[in-house]
């Protein structure tokens, strides 16, 4: 079955069941500053899920192009991608679990549609916890369909819950469908969520709760269904491939890469690294997959008619990273320049389903080629600096020179580089840029840990308190937060006295006791610079987010920051400084906790 056939079958199936077909929205969300890209089919529909009337009615279906960079480190395996297409059907306060589940099952298994083997299907439902009930209804519906109890897993929120899209809003339990992709003589009787051979293929979300500002899940009158099924995985499963990259949506790219490189997909690359005195070989599939995935995502971002080009912020920054990462992996399998050739292949695959790619072909090609040339220059410059013996961290941050290349060069010259030192400096650097551009590599729906969120808000209070106690010269130099503690580096030349530390603690705890609201606004950078604290070694976009703590006109703190934060300082508990020490000349470090 081809991808065109699957798209068509899906849309026809739901059209026959009263759904109106809507076109894919842009990859760049409109009017939604909380995310850089459309990460799921539900994204462009959020206003309608919240109750606004959709002009086409209450039943919708579509194929939505999506980009998720939250999983970027998983790309390289057989089934994760940054760019993918999501098939979805929606009920806006219309049908609910019974119809949605029955239709999902029918579409998957009926010979008229996908005709998947019923024996290889397993499902999961929400188990219930102190905040929301066990989804018994879905469980029963699956039983009625004929799925045995051993094939219906009851799983916690972590697995079987979706949303809300922001801090508050519609959300609910979901029911996921899995397909056994292992050998046919090894199909297990029971479903086991830990076994990757049970591949998740479809997710039916039942939005029947609203998470309110107190964090409470209230049952909603208004119930929606949001389903999402990844096309690439489905295509592989339907055609019996154990690897999405072997499907027609990727294979022509892989073949072209084979032609351009010294390797075949799956060859073992020469010694990759030496670990505990053992030579480790690397499976080249990872390289092929990352290049194919990243260039495909780049072609779609450039082809999206929003004029996004590689840059140092926002969507442009993600685009730049994707392209440069692809080029870097290309070099590792011996490919020199290739973006033009691969782009041609990608456009060929998608030109019917997404005509915008063909229409914007020149724009896409020009930008990819330019970025390839720019990166080439960066590498050349970096190489010169490397020869001068510059610190790998400076090479990376100032010249964009990848650490892997530094390592390779050092190895060739028989030099050693201090990786530990590099990673330590990187961790601090990243924390710093994350506060400025958080979310860049995350989907907007990613949920930040509660503890880190609290400590993040406490860090803003600490920053403001230090400026009161020590003086306005105090500037943030670095910040690192784990679930247990915060660490904050700032400019100040003397060791803090016991009284100073006590005073800072008192102020922070006072602000917690005052139950101050935490809010953010988006504003032009030039305006924001006049009113809010920001870092001087950071590049910000034209529009920035400013987080404030306090009430209108009476703010205790205002900082450039990507969030996330708690909603009110009353959530923080008791603030305590554990340690105050020097990091380098003129820079001090505080470690603190919230009990
Ligand atoms: N929103 C859900 C998902 O992305 C279902 O579409 O998985």
Q: What's the chain's average pLDDT? A: 88
Q: What percentage of residues in the chain have a pLDDT greater than 70?
A: 91
How many Cβ atoms sit within 10 Å of the Cβ of residue 357? 22
**Ligand 1 within 6 A of 64 CB?**
no
Choose between 433 and 255: higher pLDDT: 255
Where is average pLDDT lowest: 55-59, 486-490, 564-568? 564-568
State which of 39, 42, 49 you would mutate to test the pocket of ligand 1, scoring each by most atoms of that ligand within 8 A of its C-beta. Answer: 42
Pair of tokens at residue 320: 């730049």
Residue with tokens 């199936």: 13
Q: Could you tell me the distance, in angstroms and rounded to a whole number, from the CA of residue 227 to the centre of ligand 1?
A: 6
CA atoms within 13 A on the CB side of 304: 28
Q: 227 in ligand 1 pocket by Cβ < 6 Å?
A: yes
The two structure tokens encoding residue 336 = 């020199």
Please tell me the predicted confidence (pLDDT) of residue 180: 95
pLDDT at site 511: 96
Beta carbon of 310 within 6 Å of any ligand 1 atom:
no
Kindly give the number of the ligand 1 atom that is closest to the alpha carbon of 88: 6
Map tokens 């051979």 to a residue: 197
pLDDT class of 272 with cuts at 50, 70, 90: low
pLDDT above 50: residue 439: no
- Rank 182-196, 268-282, 479-493 by mean pLDDT and report only the highest: 182-196
The CB of 228 under 6 Å from ligand 1? The reply is yes
Structure tokens at 420: 């530990």
Helices 285-302 and 251-260 sit at what angle, rounded to 10 degrees? 110
Q: Which residues contact 286 (CB under 8 A, 6 or more apart)?
A: 76, 77
Q: Judge if the beta carbon of residue 205 lies within 6 A of ligand 1.
A: yes
Q: Is 42 in the pocket of ligand 1 (CB under 6 A)?
A: yes
* pLDDT surpasses 80 at 467: yes
Measured in Å, residue 226 CA sits from the centre of ligand 1 at 7
When pLDDT is cut at 50, 70 and 90, the band that residue 442 belongs to is very low
**224 C-alpha vs ligand 1 centroid, how far in Å?**
13
Judge if the beta carbon of residue 172 lies within 6 A of ligand 1. no
In this structure, the residue with its CA closest to atom 4 of ligand 1 is 40
Angstrom CA distances, 320 to 67, 219, 302, 382, 568, stand at: 14, 43, 11, 17, 36
Q: How far is the CA of 204 from the centre of ligand 1 (A)?
A: 7
Q: What is the pLDDT of residue 445?
A: 26
Least confident interval from 134-143, 455-464, 558-567: 558-567
What stretches of 360-497 show up as alpha helix (H) in DSSP? 361-387, 392-399, 403-412, 419-437, 450-469
Model-level pTM? 0.70
Give the model confidence (pLDDT) of 314-353 as tens digits: 888 889 989 998 998 898 888 988 999 999 999 999 999 9
Position in ligand 1 atom list of the atom nearest CA 40: 4
């Amino acid at each position: 079955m081809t991808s065109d056939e699957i798209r068509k079958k899906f849309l026809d199936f739901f059209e026959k069941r009263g759904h109106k077909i809507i076109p894919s929205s842009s990859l760049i969300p409109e009017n939604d500053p909380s995310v850089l890209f459309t990460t799921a089919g539900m994204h462009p529909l959020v206003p309608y899920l919240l109750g606004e009337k959709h002009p086409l009615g209450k039943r919708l279906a579509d194929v939505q192009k999506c980009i998720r960079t939250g999983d970027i480190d998983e790309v390289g395996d057989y089934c994760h991608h940054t760019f993918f297409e999501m098939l979805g059907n929606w009920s806006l306060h219309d049908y609910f679990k019974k119809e949605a589940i029955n239709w999902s099952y029918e579409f998957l298994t009926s010979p008229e549609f996908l005709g998947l083997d019923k024996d290889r299907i397993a499902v999961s439902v929400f188990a219930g916890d102190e905040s929301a009930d066990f989804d018994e209804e879905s469980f029963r519906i699956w039983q009625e369909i004929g799925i045995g109890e051993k094939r219906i897993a009851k799983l916690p929120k972590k697995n079987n819950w979706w949303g809300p899209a922001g801090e508050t809003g519609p959300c609910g339990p979901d029911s996921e469908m899995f397909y056994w992709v292992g050998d046919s003589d090894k199909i297990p009787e029971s479903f086991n969520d830990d076994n990757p051979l049970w591949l998740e293929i479809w997710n039916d979300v039942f939005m029947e709760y609203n998470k309110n500002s107190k964090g409470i899940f209230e049952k909603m009158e208004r119930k929606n269904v949001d389903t999402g099924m990844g096309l690439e995985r489905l295509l592989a499963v339907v055609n019996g491939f154990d690897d999405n990259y072997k499907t027609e949506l990727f294979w022509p790219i892989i073949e072209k890469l084979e032609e351009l490189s010294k390797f075949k997909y799956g060859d073992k690359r020469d010694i990759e690294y030496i670990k505990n005195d053992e030579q480790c070989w690397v499976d080249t599939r990872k390289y092929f997959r990352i290049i194919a995935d990243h260039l495909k995502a780049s072609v779609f971002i450039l082809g999206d008619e929003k004029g996004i080009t590689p840059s140092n912020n926002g969507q442009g920054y993600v685009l730049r990273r994707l392209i440069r990462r692809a080029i870097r992996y290309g070099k590792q399998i011996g490919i020199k320049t290739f973006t033009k050739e691969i782009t041609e292949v990608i456009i060929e695959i998608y030109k019917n389903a997404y005509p915008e790619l063909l229409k914007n072909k020149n724009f896409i090609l020009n930008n990819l080629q330019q970025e390839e040339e720019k990166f080439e220059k960066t590498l050349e410059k970096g190489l010169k600096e490397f020869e001068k013996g510059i610190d790998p961290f400076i090479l990376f941050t100032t010249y964009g020179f990848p650490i892997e290349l530094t390592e390779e060069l050092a190895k060739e010259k028989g030099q050693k580089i201090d990786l530990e030192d590099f990673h330590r400096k990187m961790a601090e650097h990243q924390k710093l840029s994350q506060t400025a551009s958080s979310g860049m590599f995350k989907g907007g729906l990613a949920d930040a840990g509660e503890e880190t969120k609290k400590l993040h808000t406490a860090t803003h209070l600490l920053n403001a308190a230090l400026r009161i106690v020590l003086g306005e010269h105090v500037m943030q130099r670095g910040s690192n937060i784990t679930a247990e503690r915060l660490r904050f580096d700032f400019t100040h030349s003397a060791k803090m006295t016991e009284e100073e530390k006590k005073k800072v603690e008192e102020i922070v705890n006072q602000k917690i006791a005052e139950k101050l609201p935490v809010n953010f606004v988006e504003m032009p950078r030039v305006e924001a610079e006049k009113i809010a604290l920001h870092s001087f070694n950071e590049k910000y976009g034209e529009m920035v987010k400013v987080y404030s703590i306090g009430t209108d006109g009476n703010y205790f703190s205002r900082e450039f920051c990507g969030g996330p934060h708690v909603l009110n300082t009353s959530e923080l508990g008791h603030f305590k400084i554990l340690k105050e020490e020097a990091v380098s000349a003129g820079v001090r470090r505080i470690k603190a906790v919230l009990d």
